[in-house]
Amino acid sequence: MLFNRSTIFRQAWANARTIHANFRRNERLFGPAPSLRSCFSKALREAWATAKAEAAAAQATQAARTAAAALPSVERTRLAAAAQDALARLVFSDAPMAAIASRRDALNAQLAAFS
C-alpha cells in the first residue's frame, strides 16, 4: 500500500489547528485546551488509520473485481443482481427494527441460495 504522506501530514496539521482553535475558543466550557502538539498527534493517528482503511477497502474491492471477472458470464450476472438487491435491501434510514430484521432475513436467505 502506497500512501502520500505529505498529504496525510497536511490534512492532520489542518485538522489539529482547527481542533486546537475550537478548544481555545471554548476553554470556559471544556477547561484548559490541549496543546497543539497533542491535537496534531491525535489528528495524525486518525488520518493514518483512515488512509489505511481506505487502502484496504480499495484492495478488497480490486480483489473482488478480479474474482468476479474470473466467473462465467451467467454467474457474474447472477452475482451482480444479488449485489444490487442486497444494496437495495440495506439502504434504509428510518425503517423500524422489524423491517430491518425482515430485510436481513431475506438477504441471508438469498445469499444462502446463491452459495
Residue 47 neighbours by CB distance under 10 Å: 21
CB 16 within 8 A of CB 43: yes
Q: Quickly count: other Cβ atoms within 10 Å of residue 56's Cβ.
A: 11
Instruction: Report the phi/psi class of residue 31: left, alpha or beta, with left for phi > 0 and alpha for psi in -120 to 50.
Output: left
pTM of the model: 0.55
Mean pLDDT across the stretch 58-78?
Answer: 81
The C-alpha cell that represents 108 in the structure block: 441471508
Between residues 77 and 8, the one the model is more confident about: 8
**The pLDDT value given to residue 62:** 84
Look at residue 15 and tell me whether its pLDDT is greater than 90. yes
Q: What's the CA gap between 115 and 105, in Å, rounded?
A: 15
pLDDT number for residue 105:
79
pLDDT, tens digit (0-9, with 9 covering 90-100), for 45-58: 998 988 888 888 88
